[in-house]
Amino acid sequence: MSKTILHIGGAKCASTYLQRKVLCNTKKYDFYGPKSSVSSLFLDYCLEETNIYPKFDCSESIILSHEGLSIYENLKGGYVADRMGSVVGKAEVIYVIREQKSWLVSRYYQDLENYMGLYTDYYTFKEWLNGDFHDGLSMHSKNAEAFLPLERIKYDNIIDKLRDNFGEVHVIPMEVLKINNKNFLKSISKILDVKVEPEDREVSNRRIGVYEEKMEKSLGFLMSNRKIARVVKELVKISSELFPYKKGVKKIDNNVVNIIRSTNRKLIQMDVNLTKEYIS
């Protein structure tokens, strides 16, 4: 009997680990990751960027994975979960969440490294929270404002809509992975009805940022000598960690704290099993 699994992230919630080490390694399922044309078309349809209707072979078991699907509404006011449901019909959803304060800081640094100073101006953490960065990025990515950070941490809204459209919505805190990787993988195995045990259990995903990549390209004339190339790469890496990439404690104001507390209270009422990190 065929089965459809939708893994919608979230972003910064071990998605790359799941995509590269776990979900793609099951013989039972055809896997479509975020870089596949199938997943890209599916996301575009859900964001209402295209009216081309994605079709799937329902006789085959598939896993479709894209962290861009873990948002509530697209810019046209359509519910992403409704659009997903209209395409795949019966499916099970895997939605990995992360304690909101931790998620906000992690996502900010990713946007800082990959976009600010290259595609947008630099924004403080507070300005980023308020959506100023996404407004600037919309000049380069028209759907940027659909991914406002404070909307993405309202997990209860997203889960509500998912449950309206799909019979099984599996919400797994990423903190379970940090505490015990075996238990995390057992949860995934149970959902897929197949044992998953990746050979490499390394979870971290250190990627070269856009800043580093562009700097290395601009200094390409120095890269022909291996020794010099190693020095250049190290200097570029160090420079990416200096101002304005300086890290530090990010203050979460009371308005955001209240959003987080309200969301987590609702998640508990919805019988989502949260770890202690969410209870404050």
Residue 172 lies in a domain: yes
Phi then psi dihedrals of residue 30, to 5 deg: -85, 125
Residues 165 and 229 in one domain: no
Residues 233 and 184 in one domain: no
Residues 158 and 224 in one domain: no
* Over residues 173-179, mean pLDDT: 92
Residues 200 and 229 in one domain: no
Distance CA 89, CA 92 (A): 10
Higher pLDDT pick, 203 / 174 = 174
Residue 220 lies in a domain: yes
Which residue segment(s) compose the domain that 235 sits in?
210-240
* Over residues 93-97, mean pLDDT: 98
Domain total in the chain: 2
Residues 220 and 266 in one domain: no
Residues 49 and 64 in one domain: yes
In DSSP terms, 5 is beta-bridged to 63, 92
Cα-Cα-Cα-Cα torsion 80, 194, 3, 42, nearest 10 degrees, comes to: 30
- How distant, in Å, are the alpha carbons of 45, 76, 155, 184, 195 from that of 146? 14, 9, 15, 30, 36
Residues 92 and 227 in one domain: no
Predicted confidence at residue 222, as pLDDT, reads 74
Residues 156 and 236 in one domain: no
Residue 247 lies in a domain: no
Is the confidence at residue 233, as pLDDT, over 70?
Answer: yes
Higher pLDDT pick, 203 / 173 = 173
Predicted confidence at residue 25, as pLDDT, reads 87
- Cis geometry, peptide bond prior to residue 244 (ω within 30 degrees of 0): yes
Residue 109 lies in a domain: no
pLDDT band at 211 (very low <50, low <70, confident <90, very high): low
Residue 145 lies in a domain: no
Is the confidence at residue 199, as pLDDT, over 60?
Answer: no
Q: What is the DSSP letter of 19?
A: I
Percent of the chain with pLDDT over 70: 87
Q: What is the DSSP letter of 72?
A: S
Residue 132 lies in a domain: no
Is the confidence at residue 257, as pLDDT, over 90?
Answer: yes
pTM over 0.75: yes
Residues 236 and 160 in one domain: no
- How distant, in Å, are the alpha carbons of 38, 63, 217, 238, 276 from that of 30? 11, 6, 36, 40, 35
CATH number at residue 54: 3.40.50.300
Sheet containing 92-97: order of strands: 30-32, 62-65, 4-7, 92-97, 168-173
Distance CA 208, CA 280 (A): 35
Residues 80 and 25 in one domain: yes
Higher pLDDT pick, 246 / 123 = 123
Residues 87 and 215 in one domain: no
- The listed range with the strongest mean pLDDT (29-43, 53-67, 175-189) is 29-43
Is the confidence at residue 52, as pLDDT, over 80?
Answer: yes
Distance CA 158, CA 151 (A): 9
Residues 158 and 32 in one domain: yes
Predicted confidence at residue 248, as pLDDT, reads 59
